[in-house]
Chains A and B, each alone.
Chain A
Amino acid sequence: MKIIKFAVSIFAVLLLAACGNESAKKTSTLDTTKSQGFVKCGVSQGLPGFSNADASGNWAGIDVDVCRAVAAAVLGDATKVKYTPLSAKERFTALQAGDIDVLSRNTTWTLERDAAIGLEFVGVNFYDGQGFMVRKKSGIKSVKDFKNGTKVCTNTGTTTELNMADFFKAAGVSYEPVVFEKADEVVQAYDSGRCDTYTTDKSGLAAQRTKLSAPDDHIVLPETISKEPLGPVVREGDATWADVVRWSLNVWIEAEEYGVNSGNIDSMMDSKNPAIQRIVGAEGTKNGAGLNLDQKWSYNLIKQVGNYAESYKRNLADTGIMPDRGPNALWTNGGILYVPPVR
């Protein structure tokens, strides 16, 4: 009879547990982040210039700077970030499940992702587009030169697969996709000659080209076959947290527009320009109140991370990955980088 008693008691405990959980109150991500003292940020497994860890495990890149900006804004310290390297396949599940609170991993903003899978895109930190890389000796000069039977290497779990299907269908050219789970295997397979071309976002091509055995034997074709606005993502349903990440991103970019950078921000505190006063959170502006952050959030952010131009130069220009800002120049300089005003 002991078994019966045991079973009945477990049954009762479980019922209680089930009820308990349903009535449990949700806590906001901002409060949790403040109390745990670090930002949980999902990044790539290694994409130079965007998110890449050096030999001693320090993360750097323009996507990593978004995480650092959020940490500086929320916690006052840009180093208080816990990075989780994720594959393209894992990234959304990790965010949905709460393993990370910000996903900053060269992720393309699309309708399907924004609307159907419980994600919220807060902005764009890099405007990219899909391109093709080929061997110079193949004589291919343009995507129009591809003919039937082209073998294309790429990796799975990205918008890349869809774009190339659309592209080749529209061009009426038959092709064979050779799709790997990890970028390193794609590079190896393309390098060995398994494929005629390697396709992914152009920034990715530029970064991966450096890993090839003879980078100079390869060129990236001039055409861009898709729009790839890459930006940070948060979970749907926590508007406060989405606002914090969105405005961290915006103030980071707008600081460049008004010439505020990590070097001159202390002198900018006394600026007479009201727009700059709002950006740096000078006295009398109600900077941060609506975001539930303290007055110094944007000061900390710019002081510790720098503005967008500084990040770009440090991670993409000086490393030779994407020396030209192209569409990622400010709207005032002929690019399309344009953010809502900080006011």
Chain B
Amino acid sequence: MKLLRKNIEKLNLFLENYPKIGIYFPQFLIILLLGIIISYFSMNASTNMAARGIETGFGFLANKASFDIQFSLIDFDSNDSYARAYLVGLLNTLLVSGIGIFFATVIGFFVGITRLSTNILASKVAEAYIEIFRNIPLLLQIFFWYFAVLRLLPSSDNSLILFNFVFANIKGIYIPRFIWENLNYFLYGFLFSILIIYLFVSISKKKQEKTGLQVPTFTTSLIIFFTINFLVIYFGQVGLTLSYPVLETNRGLHNYMGGVSVIPELIALAFSLSLYTSTFIAECVRAGILGIDKGQKEAAASIGLSKAQILKLIVIPQALRIIIPPVTNQYLNLTKNSSLAAAIAYPDIVLVFAGTALMQTGKAIEIVSITMLTYLTLSVSISIFMNWYNKKNSIAER
């Protein structure tokens, strides 16, 4: 006992002399502990799986998938590997998340601003929209819109044809495939025109700051854009031909072949994700705008800015700083919610990889970990990007 006490005293003395060890040692122990817990569970799992004759490892990724996928952005065939099936699923997840984030942001900003409108009707409609769509569980909305979309569209022998360009039926929405000639000239010309416009806008901005004169940037930019692109298309002989989808009839079955098809599952999923997330974004936007001091708007009005200018130049730049962090959360939610795709046959990573591939190979632990890591990477990337954007938009503290 005495010896122990003596040793503890010695230890205390040692720690007083080296305070850093006292700070870092407990942290080191906790990390070690975490490591041990994790390796304990994975060891346990692998021992148990070996005992039950379950094969483990990631070698299966190179094997032939031998199933097909309805919709993919890259070529996929049942002879391709599980790794490629994973890529197809990942791209489909990114596609629907990207579309969803874009529309959710646009609708969300619009509804959020409308919600603050002085027009009572407009603001009440926006409020009703928000309350309805954010209070119904997303999975129900997805089912509702999916089967609503299916019921709404006509059968394939009786397609809805818009401008002889869009062919919509229950099996998908078909548009002609664009076949370009000399597309590279067009792209160079396009980039060139954007560059010129950028230079023009920054020069006129500097001029305005110096002399106070305002140049009609928008109209001039449009003129520059169209002139350059028209000249390039005309002289570069850029050509565009359309390859139309063709209705093929096989006895009583009617299917469009060729062209570009958008499947109803993608439409329903992107639609419901956008509607649902836009309500949360609208509330973030409202909070952001309300967070701007009234004095700012009054000051802007007193120097003669119009209402639109006040919103664009004074309110939104400041509100953005309040809006971005919570909106980032909504982007992350949308991306993760896109995994509900499996319910309505949209071939995202969960349906293709954590569904079909998992079933065919039986590699539950491997596939689920890959899928979780993928979502983690996606979410962290979005976070990093939004943090960067937030930093860019925040002013240096005064």
Chain A positions near chain B (C-beta within 8 angstroms):
1, 3-4, 7-8, 10-11, 14-15, 18, 21-22, 88-89, 92-93, 96, 112-113, 116-118, 135, 137-140, 145-151, 153, 156-158, 161-162, 164-166, 168-169, 175-182, 185, 188-189, 192-196, 235-237
Contacts and interface: CB of A to CB of B under 8 A. Distances in A.
Contact of A140 (B51, B252, B257): B252
Interface stretch (B117-125, B159-167, B341-349): B341-349
Contact of B29 (A1, A4, A112, A137): A4
Given A14-B36, A96-B54, A194 B356 contact: no
Contacts of B248: 147-149
B147 A192 contact: yes
Contacts of A92: 359, 362, 364
B25 interface: yes
A179 B88 CA distance: 15
Interface of B: 11-12, 15, 25-26, 29-30, 32-33, 36-37, 40, 43-44, 47, 49, 51-55, 66-71, 78, 147, 150-151, 155-156, 170-171, 248, 250-253, 255-257, 264-265, 342-345, 347, 351, 355-356, 358-362, 364
Given A179-B351, A181-B351, A149 B345 contact: no
A235 B69 contact: no
Which of A166, A169, A192 gathers most chain B CB within 10 Å? Answer: A192
Given A7-B29, A149-B257, 10 more contacts: A1-B12, A7-B33, A11-B33, A116-B54, A118-B54, A162-B66, A180-B344, A182-B343, A192-B147, A192-B170
A165 B362 CA distance: 19
B348 to A, nearest CB: 11
A179 B347 contact: yes
Contact of B256 (A7, A149, A162, A188): A149
Contacts of B358: 89, 157
Contacts of A188: 147
A185 B66 CA distance: 24
B252 A96 contact: no
A98 to B, nearest CB: 9
22 contacts: A1-B12, A4-B25, A18-B40, A92-B362, A96-B49, A118-B49, A118-B54, A118-B362, A140-B251, A145-B251, A148-B255, A156-B351, A156-B359, A162-B66, A162-B67, A166-B78, A177-B67, A180-B345, A192-B151, A193-B150, A193-B155, A194-B171
Contacts of B252: 135, 137-140
Contacts of B343: 180-182, 185
A7 B26 contact: yes
Contact of A14 (B37, B251, B257): B37
Contacts of A117: 54-55, 361-362
**What 3 A-B pairs come out closest when comparing CB atoms?**
A117-B362, A139-B251, A157-B359
Contacts of B265: 178
A138 B36 contact: no
A116 B36 CA distance: 29
Contacts of B345: 153, 178-180, 185, 189
Given A8-B29, A22-B47, A237 B68 contact: no
A156 B33 contact: no
Given A8-B29, A162-B67, A175-B68, A96 B251 contact: no
A11 B29 contact: yes
A95 B251 CA distance: 46
Contacts of A148: 248, 255, 257
A10 B34 CA distance: 11
Which of B47, B52, B359 gathers most chain A CB within 10 Å? Answer: B359
Contacts of B251: 138-140, 145
B67 A161 contact: yes
Contacts of B47: 22
Contacts of B37: 14
Nearest to A88: B359
A93 B47 CA distance: 16
Nearest to B364: A93
A92 to B, nearest CB: 6
Contact of B30 (A7, A14, A116, A140): A7
A216 B351 CA distance: 32
A255 B15 CA distance: 80
Which of B26, B67, B150, B358 gathers most chain A CB within 10 Å? Answer: B67
Contacts of A179: 70, 345, 347, 351, 355-356
Nearest to B43: A18
